[in-house]
Amino acid sequence: MASSFLFPSAFAAMSKEQQKQYPKKDELPDVNSPMVKQWVSEIDWSKVPNIPVAKADIPNCPDCPKNKKGVPKDACWWTCDGCVAKDDIEVCPRQNAWGLTYDDGPSEDTPRLLKKLQTANVTGTFFVVGSRILEYPETLLREVQEGHHIGLHTWSHAGMTSLTNEQIVAEIKWAEKIVFDVTGLKTKYWRPPYGDVDNRVREIARQMGYVTVIWTKEWDSNDWQIPDKTITNKEVFRNFKWALSTVPKLKGGVITLEHDLFVQTVNVAGPLLDMGMKQGLEPMDIARCVNDPHPYQNSLIENKSETQPKKPLGVAPAKKPVAAPQEPKIAPQEPKVVPQEPEDAPQEEPMEEDEETESEDQDEEINSASVGHSKSASKSSAGRIAWATSSLALVVASSIVFSF
């Protein structure tokens, strides 16, 4: 398939003509298009479990059956029975490693978060919604240029178990295509919206080369509830402080869930980062968290260093190529606010350092954003990246210097 590669320097914004090459923002792609039919034909459907499509008010997360008997036995349906597959990623194997993830962008507030991360000299994984790149391609490119890791969060942010097989393919592949068109990178990691994944969805994603990333139990920041006013900034900080208090007892590291879609969620991201680092957590993107030296499907890394840079931007080299498989575990049915109250109030109320950022005390005054998804290159001795699939991508590679 010929790629309509869009050279990054052309991206102040995507023109209307360029946007027409893609499905519409926040809408399920047409499964009858030649592109989707081609993608569907590349799947070995004999390997995909015949699990019923869940009922849902799309794009919302499906309602779970009232009792667990309603969940098909072989579904391993994370959102409804807490089941985690062996190759799902929900923790960082190494103690104190902190998989930093931001979902649902890019948005107009993402640059403010990027500034904070750059100041802190840390990288995270951005699980991007493909259709939102239509408006903010330059933000996606900036994420890559500043060493962050890009994962997919589908095209329109629908609950995956409620989609047909063809719709699942279309949601992932269209998102993959727009990221590739803008950056030259073929993504490898994805996070299903709402964490809504079962074995049917997993197998389809696997066949397209994807690793499924959830997040660690009790480490959903619940920042997505702030715009709905069902939680306050202070509660988010208090819950996170409680989660941090459990770190010494953990066998491995954690993966947090945050969002860069709303002004309110970006407002709390800086203080949360400061709190975690102060407690000794080492923030990093997901590829580093699982020690994956190949963060993209089309990346090749020349690793000339035996040691990891102290403050790497991007993905550090690794001795072990993949994370240790995890035993199936029970994860929370629904992301919940941690119920415990800390014994005492935070001694230091975290404040956003960025002068452009609203104080959390102003949260009561900030109206809910209108977007309807509330539930939801630095110098390096380590190596460099070369993209294998496209000569045009190699042109980009030469213009963007990554560090690993």
Catalytic residues: 103, 259
Rule CB under 5 A: choose which of 81, 103, 166, 292 binds Zn ion. Answer: 103
CB 104 → Zn ion: shortest distance, Å?
4
Give the x-and-dash track for 277-316 against Zn ion (CB under 5 A): ----------------------------------------
**104 near Zn ion, judged by CB under 5 A:** yes
Nearer to Zn ion, 175 or 382 (CB): 175
- Starting at the earlier edge strand, list the strands of the sheet with 189-190: 211-212, 189-190, 149-152, 125-128, 101-103, 258-259
Least distance CB 46 / Zn ion (angstroms): 31
Among the listed ranges 71-79, 192-200, 339-347, 356-364, the one in contact with Zn ion (CB under 5 A) is 192-200
Residue count of the chain, please give it: 404
Using omega within 30 degrees of 0 as the cis cutoff, is the peptide bond preceding 346 cis? Answer: no
**From the CB of 337, what's the least distance to Zn ion, in Å?**
17
Please write down the long-range contacts of 272-277, taking CB distance under 8 Å and 24 or more positions apart: 272/221, 272/236, 272/237, 272/240, 272/350, 273/100, 273/116, 273/117, 273/120, 273/122, 274/120, 274/350, 274/353, 275/237, 275/240, 275/241, 275/244, 275/350, 276/98, 276/240, 276/244, 277/120, 277/122
- Cβ-based nearer residue to Zn ion, 154 or 233: 154
Query: Which of 105/293 has CB closer to Zn ion?
Result: 105
Minimum CB–partner distance for residue 222 and Zn ion (Å): 13
Residue closer to Zn ion (CB basis): 104 or 166? 104
Q: How many residues bind Zn ion (CB under 5 A)?
A: 4
Give the contact letters, 329-368, x = binds to Zn ion (CB under 5 A), - = no: ----------------------------------------
Minimum gap (Å) between residue 187 Cβ and Zn ion: 15
Candidate segments 141-149, 193-201, 237-245, 345-353, binder of Zn ion by CB under 5 A: 193-201
Q: For residue 301, what are the β-bridge partners? A: 385
Other C-beta atoms lying within 10 Å of the C-beta of residue 339: 7
H helix or E strand, kind and range, residue 178: helix 165-183
Question: Sign of dihedral through CA atoms 87, 206, 178, 146?
Answer: positive
Complex with Zn ion: residue 124 or 350, whichever CB lies closer = 124
**Cβ pair 110, 139 in contact under 8 A:** yes
Helices (H) and strands (E) in the chain, counts: 11, 11
The amino acid that residue 47 corresponds to is K
**Residues 72/100, Cβ–Cβ less than 8 Å:** no
Q: Which is nearer to Zn ion, 294 or 375 (CB)?
A: 375
What the block records as the tokens of 168 is 């699942």
CB of 66 to Zn ion, least distance (A): 25
* Residue 376 binds Zn ion, judged by CB under 5 A: yes
Residue window 155-184: x/- pattern of binding to Zn ion, with contact defined by CB under 5 A: ------------------------------
Binding interface with Zn ion (CB under 5 A): 103-104, 193, 376
